[in-house]
Structure 1
Amino acid sequence: MRTWKVVSVTTLAILVILPVVGIGLGIALRDFLVDLWWFQGLDYGLYFWQRLLYRYLVFGGAVLLFFAVFFGNFWLGAKYLGAPAPAHQQTATRLRRVYERFKKRSLAFYLPLSLALAVIVALPMFFDWERVLMYLTAPAAGSADPVFGLDVSFYLFALPVYLLLYTELMVALVVLLLGLVLLYWLEHRAMPREHGRLRRGARLHLSVVLGLIFLLGVGWFAGDALLLLYTDDHLPLFYGPGYEEMRVTLPLIGGAAVLALIIGGLLLSLLNTAKGGPALVVALVLLAAVVGLRHTPFVTDAVHRYAVKPNELTREAPYIQNNIQATRAAYELTDVETREYPVRDTAWEEITPEMELNLHNIPIWDEEALLPVYRELQEIRPYYAFEGIDVGRYSVEGVYQQVFLAAREIHLRALHPERQTWVNRWLKYTHGYGVVMTPASQAADQPMEWYVQGIPPESVAGLSVDEPAIYYGVGTYAPVIAPNASREFDFASGDTTALTDYAGDGGVALGSLFRKLVFALYFGEPNIFYTTQTTDASRLLFRRDIRERIRKLTPELILDPNPYIAVADGRLYWIQNAATASAWYPYAKPYDGAFDYIDRPFNYLRDAVKIVVDAYNGDVSYYVADPKDPIAVAYSRIYPGLYQPMSAMPDAIKTHLRYPKSLFDVQMDVYARYHQTDPQTFYNQEDAWELPSVQWRDDVDRVTAYYVTLNLIDEDRFEYNLILPMTPLGQNNMRALAVIGNDGDNYGRIVVYNFPKGTLVYGPAQVNSFIRQDPHISQELTLWRQQGSKARRGRMVVAPVEGVVTYIQGIFLEATATSPMPQLARIIVSQGRLVTMASSLEEGFRDLHELVLRQQEEDPVQELPAPDEPPEVAGDATDAADADQR
């Protein structure tokens, strides 16, 4: 009977205690366990432990270092420097007895004190652990700064760590010195010596610590000299040190460092020999004077006024050259290739096959105008959404061409409120479905052409999508459980509804009640624990926004704002460009332009890493795109196995890599000024450029780069390029056209076409003015508006075709009373002041050809607008157009 009672009580206790213990552990460890399981689900378990332990290893190493410094010195002072002293005074004898007892128990005092001080001093290393590891693993950059001759990697990695370590060491040594002074003073009071002096061992110990402090002081002056490379006193002329810094400030810093060494030696001599006092006073006065001259503008202002300003260009030319070279290297602009564009004055004789290929790749639609069309015609169901339009290039039926495409992602917020049940949100509507694709060039007199469309997707040859389900994307993705006993909704076609079961290995397996409990606590969803719809194969898929996913894995990378979808080998992949940046490149000007997608100061930027995310499984793969980037190499050394070489990327995905538009915009914004490599030209800003702006009503929009497939780099090969027109600073005529390759060996290759200075090539703002003033276009727009439609002009595309700079722009109509879906109505083709409007590019080019011939026959005398004046915005019907110049 007693045994039965014991068993019953024990069983009851277990049934009560186990759930309590499980809930307690789940609450205490839920964040840690969820992250661990999530990393392990991506096969990054080792990487998870690396990121977790590296911080504590660096911090622990710093704590050990400073603990050794504190404890070793305190222990040395307490144990080995004591000596018998006369006890002729009773007070002294009592103090001595107290001191002797303290010596015997000093370990119990110094041990916790040293540990506490070490933890406090080393704490910054806990937060900057990754910077320390990069310093330890970074390779040499292979280039040196022009002043001190140190490798650039020293500035990118070592200098920030040295500045951090300097502060910690100085604090540690000052605290140690104060502690030792207090210790020896108390010892001296307990055991007074003849002549009232500290014993020799104490003086020697204090001298060593004081000498180290003075050596660190010399190090401070060395850091002050190195930081001259980051001075901005000469902006806006140039960045970095100039004549005053190199000829005045740097010698003053060197003199102060020498005086600091002398003062340290004199002070040590004074402490140990009581000699050298007057010399020490003189040295201190000299140091104060030198430091004062260095930090007050009196001397540098005088040098600038009397030596530099009358001969500024001559004095500053070498330093301007240093700034130019460093800035071009920091933004990867050293190897920019410049070419003269052979502007053609005569008309085309005919539309050649090469021109036909050019025209077939001109993106008439832009992403913003096309998005409503995709949504209206291809979302099909309310729970699907297109988050944005991507640009790509594919071989379609054997023809390499540019396309637009978008992923049809899940959009649960659009579900009817009555269908917003827990089962639907967590078990049923788990994924998006398929992509749609259209050619970049369309005709206004023909229906929209589709390469991939519908549910299930229908595609032309070579663009089939074997796995259209999208579980990971760029939209708003809630956590889901898949597969499950309720089965997932796959797609609806006609009157039939297809169900599916997730067969991937994404997410985290829900294989136990404990895991379900932890996830229920983590997400605040008790139904995760209570539901009976999970199976042995069920997995919890979360962090499904690929940007959130990547940031959780690698927060150190700078993500391009526009990840894009790609179809490769019948599967869907998201490709995310990632950059590395630093604010420590010596002599390079920090970026302060209009493109601020990077949320930190920087003066060094690289297209360093390509990230590929499987839209079905959520697998995240990292590839080092720039093996010459020391930052990317340092990361790959810190985390072996995470970053792979580009040779490991599947070829089917490689064909869809593209140079990030946002990074190219930043590079060209810098290049607009730093293409001037001659110091005199740079000083006068004789040929400064800028990214053009176009005025629409009261707004001015800046033109940014866009993708186009043309033969601009190799004449015999059509390639996928980013192009960006450039205008002279303060003027509106086009001065240059920047192009960067995206295909094969030409990836990242920048070619800048310069237009002859004596030839007027109209810029986007001027052409915009000509279009507004064209009476035929104004008449057509007025007619459309009277018919209840809203007309707007799309993105203006610059297309150099056969030696002629042509501007192409679509006109889109939106019905104001019904669906706002835009419809391509006409295509504007402009060459100089000549403007035509047609239903297709081919027709527009033929009309333009006839206009050019007619003009050459008539040879009218026309007054051209001054290129340095902004174009007048005509008050005609085009004022009703909502044009997008992006």
Structure 2
Amino acid sequence: MKRYKLVLLGIVVVAVWVLLGGGMSLYVDALWFDSLGYYGVFETVIWLKFISWMAGFLISVLLLWVNFRLASRRTYEQETWFRQEYLVLGMDEKRSNLFRAGILVLSALFGLLAQSQWLMFAQFRHQVPGGPADPIFGKSLSFYFFDLPVWNFLTGFALALVVFSIAVAAVSYVFHGHLGYSRQLHLTYAARLHLAILVGIGFLIIAVRFYLKRYDLLFSIRDKGVTFGAGYTDIHAWLPVYWIMAGIVLAVAVLFFVSPLFGSLKYALAGIVGFVALYLLSSLYPAAVQMFRVEPNELEKETSYLNYHIQSTLDAYDLRKIETREFTTSGRLDAQALERNETTIRNIRLWDWRPLKDAYGQLQSIRPYYSFEDVDLDRYVIQGSYRQIMLSARELNITQVSEQAQTWINQFFQYTHGYGLCASPVNEVTDEGLPDFFIKDIPPRSTVDLNITRPEIYFGEKTEYPVFIKTRMKEFDYPSGDQNAFTTYAADRGLHIGSFTRKLLFAWELGSFQILFTSNFAPDSRVLLHRVIRDRIRKIVPFLHYDNDPYMVIDGGRLFWIQDAYTTAGRYPYAEPFGRQFNYIRNSVKVVIDAYLGDVFFYVSDPNDLLLGTYARIFPTVFKPMSELRPGLLAHIRYPEDMFDIQREIYCTYHMRDPRVFYNKEDLWSVPHEIYGDTEQAMESYYTIMALPDEDKEEFILLTPFSPKNKNNMIAWLAARSDGEHYGSLLLFQFPKQDLTYGPMQIEARIDQDPQVSQLITLWSQKGSRVIRGNLLVIPIETSVLYVEPLYLQAEKSEIPELTRIIVVYENRVVIGETLKEALDVAVATGPQPRRPITLLPPTPQETSLSPELQSLLQDAVRQFDLSQERLKEGDWTGYGEAQRKLKEILEELSTRTSRGPAPELEPKRGTSNGPE
């Protein structure tokens, strides 16, 4: 007994500890939501969870308790013989209490199961009805999103309750002597009646589940099917099977209901055997239909279902809105065309985000504890011109502070925020091959009309720790020469520390009991929690899916983050799933976060979305119309890259709208590949500013090309528009099928085969330097297509990549130039392609010292290369081949010798070099 009391005491202590900790965390959450103006969300979620749990608990405890009490009735006089025939354990007070406790625990678990579906119940209750009707049952989309999941859950929940009720009743009957076994099962009439009714109810629920299972056919995935969703076999075989099974199960339920009248369960048990046998054989008929009726005439049988599948998939991924146009490469670019498209040319992105991030890190980190997490692309009107720029927030990474400085005080009181950002145009480079900054340094210095007056970043992508503000200790603001500048947070955000009770509360929540003893708190001290922007918005609205790339925007001198959010579902009839994650997606919300204040706002970007409309009914104070977004931020809304990439992958197959073409997979597309660095990879979609065909004004778009499956030519390109009234529009430009347009990998191959480019890369790639081939960009201009690929050079001793050359491919010309303008001028020029020899700067004495033999070989290599270009210009192919052969021998000898010792670093002089065709 003493041990029992100790165990009970231990359980009570643990329960109190857990409840106390949970209660304190809940209170902190309430304070946090209230500080942001979202207490209504917190309150609504708590009530929905509580009501769901309470409903599940009460229903469960009621049913289980009623069945326990029914099974615990005193034995009737006429059944005394049963108690004498069989051993009766009896139900004493202790066992009765254990049963009651077990029922309470089991009911609590059922309550938790119901609580886990709080959002589903809320969607059912507040749903926005409507949406397209499915082609088989005529049910609206809202039925599949909101109604069907609830009915499936409730029938499963009820069936589980019935099963546990049968178990509780059966065990109780055993203890009370109504149920026994001696060579055969024996039941009293009361037990037989009770259990038969429960089993009958169970089979009645199973019959309902077979009825509901018909709707699941619209989401079927079968090995033999040619489509996702119901096909010919599903509708003409499985659907009748489900009706028959529902009827059989209903009949079994009736047999159980009436079996007590016959004094035997044998007919009901026979019904169960028959049901199980038919269930095991139920797949034979659909298999026969598939094999003998469908497969010999598959296209004929499946055509209508293929059409349902194609149209539903286009709807589910918002692809039906794509407008298709023909793009004929009939014209030719010249100097006048380049001048007409000066804005497009000026915004061709020469800097890839990876080398630019490295350059920012090396040139502008200022201190080891600053880092650039990501590089974002956006557009601004700068000095009256529409410009595409790249920018990256300078965030504070406390883990990079020296180990001695990683103290509790520094982590929570001093190192509180990042500072400013770097920004540079996508196409400009200094003479040293480095980014030409629009905004740089600490404090931020701007060379254009883009100024930052509030550069502190308290909320970002790397702000992982909570911090205390408005304390007696000044916060580190930024380094200033040999000294540091300090500041105090100026806004009224965060949670008040206040009393000792609050300190105890935050000490528990943060797991930092130094809070109780520090003397650094002032009367107005506060704590900022959940500062990582994705965690912050996900805590407020956890039922949305969020884009992987939040981006920073400058507006009115302040810094903001914009985060795209999606509504997704997996219950769109006939729609193809994306990676088995979902088969419906909309970019319905734009989230704005103030990097200084931490304020979060959710704006509706797709008011026609059923899911978002339902969420807005559940949480009426959360979502704001896009018209309330400040104009300076509205100008920076863009089509999200994650959404675009999902759509392009789906469209590679589902642009085929003819069921016959789709069935034969005659016109499959794929995302082209490119060479990045020295690795082949799928081409990344990219933002650019350009004038679309037949449009007079340049605009900010997201672009991707397409190639035929298993081929490298380009067949189309897709553009998503982001500006003004055209936001969200998708335009597909298809090349005429009779024309051959080079695709990215074919262009990459031409670049590889160009003698001058390959030789230049070979020289640069000698030990000590690394050549990085950037993203290949496909740039449609008027009725032509340009291809642009930057080259970066990174010395072994330096982590700063330099933008060294730009390759332009147009028609039959591969041109490499020091600047984009040089390369373009040569590429579009008429007449023979001019060529200039490569000039290599000799290394400085500090960089390397070459032996006389290596110096001689290097000079010979340059001499032979220049000679080959002269012979090529003269049309002397024999002389060109001989010079190339000698150059190869010299390079091989140079490679062999440098591999045995330190290699020279070859620094290219920034001059134009244009390779031969």
8 Å contact 1:327–1:588 — kept in the other structure? yes
Q: Provide the rounded CA distance (Å) in 2 between the counterparts of 1:210 and 1:426.
A: 61
Report 1:625-774 matches (<5 A).
625-695=605-675, 699-712=679-692, 715-774=695-754
1:793-804 alignment, distance < 5 Å: 793-804=773-784
Q: Is 1:234–1:240's contact at 8 Å kept on the other side of the alignment?
A: no
Q: In structure 2, what is the Cα distance between the partners aligned to 1:456 and 1:664?
A: 36
Equivalent residue number for residue 14 of structure 1 = none
Q: CA–CA distance in 2 between the matches of 1:720 and 1:58?
A: 47
Which moves more between the two structures, 283-292 or 137-146? 283-292
Give the letter for the 1:314 counterpart: E
1:830 partner letter: V
Q: How does 1:137-152 map to 2 (within 5 A)?
A: 137-152=126-141
Equivalence for 1:7? none
- Correspondence 1:24-103 to 2 at 5 A: 29-71=23-65
Q: C-alpha separation between the residues in 2 aligned to 1:211 and 1:759?
A: 70
Q: Among 235, 238, 243, which residue is 1:254 paired with?
A: 243
Name the residue aligned to 2:254.
265
Name 1:871's counterpart in structure 2: none
Report SS of the residue matched to 2:340.
helix
2:305 maps to which residue? Answer: 319
What's the CA shift for 1:669?
0.6
Q: Which of 367, 372, 376 in structure 1 is aligned with 2:362?
A: 376
The Cα offsets for residues 837-873 of structure 1, whole Å up to 9 and x where unpaired, read as: 1233232222111257879xx9x9xxxxxxxxxxxxx
Name the CA distance, whole Å, in 2 between partners of 1:28 and 1:90.
53
Match of 2:566 among 567, 574, 579: 579
Structure 2 CA distance for aligned equivalents of residues 852 and 160 of structure 1: 69
Shift of 1:517: 3.0
Instruction: Output the CA distance in 2 between the equivalents of 1:229 and 1:358.
Output: 47
Query: How big is each residue's C-alpha offset from its partner over 1:344-365, in whole Å with a ceiling of 9 and x where there is no partner?
Result: 2534362344311110111111
In structure 2, distance between residues paired with 1:301 and 1:171: 31
Per-residue CA deviations over 1:181-214 (Å, capped at 9, x if unaligned) read: 7889999979xxxxx9988x99987776555333
Confirm or deny that 1:227 pairs with 2:216.
yes
Within the candidate set 122, 141, 144, 1:133 is matched to: 122
Q: Name the count of aligned residue pairs.
A: 816
Higher alpha-carbon deviation: 344-353 or 539-548: 344-353
Structure 1 pair 810–337 and aligned structure 2 pair: CA distance change class (3 A): same
Q: After TM superposition, give the deviation of residue 67 of structure 1 in Å.
A: 3.6
Mark the CA change 1:106 to 1:75 in structure 2 (over 3 Å): closer, same or farther: farther
Are the structure 2 counterparts of residues 714 and 549 from structure 1 closer, same or farther at C-alpha, using a change threshold of 3 Å? farther
Distance in 2 (CA, whole Å) between partners of 1:689 and 1:779 is 34
The CA distance in 1 between the partners of 2:809 and 2:310, in whole Å, is 37
Matched, 1:827 2:806: yes
- 1:486 match: 473
2:819 corresponds in structure 1 to 840
**Cα pair distance change 1:852/1:587, threshold 3 Å:** farther
Contact in 2 for aligned 1:351/1:846 (Cα 8 Å): no
Residue 888 of structure 2: aligned partner: none
Matched, 1:552 2:576: no
Residue pair 2:675, 2:773 contacting (<8 A) in 1 also: no
Preserved contact between residue 718 and residue 730 of structure 2 (Cα < 8 Å): yes
Q: For residue 165 of structure 1, report the CA deviation from its aligned partner.
A: 1.6
Q: TM-score, normalised by structure 2?
A: 0.81
How much is the aligned-residue C-alpha RMSD, in angstroms? 3.9
* Counterpart-to-counterpart distance in 2, 1:659 and 1:836: 33
Does 1:472 pair with 2:459? yes
Structure-2 change in CA distance of 1:420 and 1:50 (3 Å): same
AA paired with 1:42?
A: L
Contact 1:688–1:729 (CA under 8 A) maintained in structure 2: yes
Find the counterpart in structure 1 of residue 373 from structure 2.
Answer: 387
1:374-409 Cα shifts (integer Å, max 9, x gaps): 222222233322112110111111222211011111
- 1:517 paired with 2:513, answer no
Report the CA distance shift for 1:651/1:840 in structure 2 as closer, same or farther (over 3 A).
same
Matched AA of 2:674: V
Give the unaligned 5+ runs of structure 1. 1-22, 191-195, 593-599, 861-875, 882-886
Residue 303 (structure 1) aligned to one of 289, 312, 316: 289
**Which amino acid in the other structure matches residue 550 of structure 1?**
I
* Paired position in structure 1 for 2:886: none
Query: What amino acid does structure 2 have at the position aligned with 1:53?
Result: W
1:582-601 correspondence to structure 2 within 5 Å = 582-592=569-579, 601=581
Report the alpha carbon displacement of residue 670 of structure 1 after superposing the two structures with TM.
Answer: 0.9
| Contact kept? 1:26, 1:521, Cα under 8 Å | no
Aligned 8 A contact 1:609 1:623 in 2: yes
1:786 shift after superposition: 5.6
Judged with a 3 Å threshold, the aligned counterparts in structure 2 of structure 1 residues 714 and 222 are, in CA distance, closer, same or farther, namely farther
Partner amino acid, structure 1, of 2:51: L
Deviation, 1:582, is: 2.1
Kindly provide the amino acid, as one letter, of the partner of residue 584 in structure 1.
R
Distance 1:120 1:413 in 2: 42
After superposition, the Cα gap between the structure-2 partners of 1:69 and 1:90, relative to the gap in structure 1 and judged at 3 Å, is closer
Q: Say whether 1:294 aligns with 2:277.
A: no
Moved more, 515-524 or 663-672: 515-524
- 2:520 aligns with 533
Indicate the residue corresponding to 2:863 in structure 1. none
CA deviation after TM superposition for structure 1 residue 369, in Å: 1.4
Shift of residue 650 of structure 1? 1.9
- Per-residue deviation at 1:146? 1.9
Give the 3 Å change call, closer, same or farther, for CA 550–562 of structure 1 in structure 2. same
Is this contact kept in 2: 1:184–1:198, CA < 8 A?
no
SS in 2 for 1:762: coil
Cα–Cα, structure 1 residues 315 and 701, in superposed 2: closer, same or farther, change >3 Å?
Answer: same
- Matched residues in 2 for 1:534 and 1:791: separation? 54
Between the aligned partners of 1:488 and 1:176, the Cα distance in structure 2 is: 62
**Map of 1:604 onto structure 2:** 584
- Tell me how far apart the structure 2 counterparts of residues 63 and 525 of structure 1 sit (CA, whole Å): 37
Secondary structure at the counterpart of residue 350 of structure 1: helix
> Which residue number in structure 2 is paired with residue 595 of structure 1?
none
Q: Residues 512, 275 of structure 1: CA spacing in aligned structure 2 closer, same or farther, 3 A cutoff?
A: closer
Change (3 A) 1:853 1:558: farther
Given that 2:343 and 2:689 are in contact with CA atoms closer than 8 Å, whether structure 1 keeps it comes out as no
Counterpart of 2:859 in structure 1 is: none
Aligned to 2:350: 364
The change in CA–CA distance for 1:63 and 1:517 in structure 2 (over 3 A counts) is closer
Sort the Cα spacing of 1:405 and 1:181 in 2 relative to 1 into closer, same or farther, 3 A. closer
Q: CA deviation at 1:414?
A: 3.1
Paired residue for 1:333?
A: 319
Q: 1:868 — aligned with what? A: none
2:839 is equivalent to residue 850 of structure 1: no
Which moves more between the two structures, 457-466 or 70-79? 70-79
Deviation per CA, 1:105-160: give whole Å up to 9, x if none. Answer: 99999987765554344441122222222222222241122222212222223323
Aligned-residue offset at 1:305: 2.8
Residues 775 and 159 (structure 1 numbering): CA distance in 2 closer, same or farther, change over 3 Å? Answer: same
Contact 1:393 1:402 in 2 (8 A): yes
Q: How far is 1:661 from its partner?
A: 0.8
CA distance in 2, matches of 1:434, 1:104: 72
Displacement after TM superposition at 1:519 (Å) = 2.5
The AA in structure 2 aligned to 1:239 is F
Cα deviation code 1:801-832 (max 9, x no counterpart): 11111111111122323x32122222111124
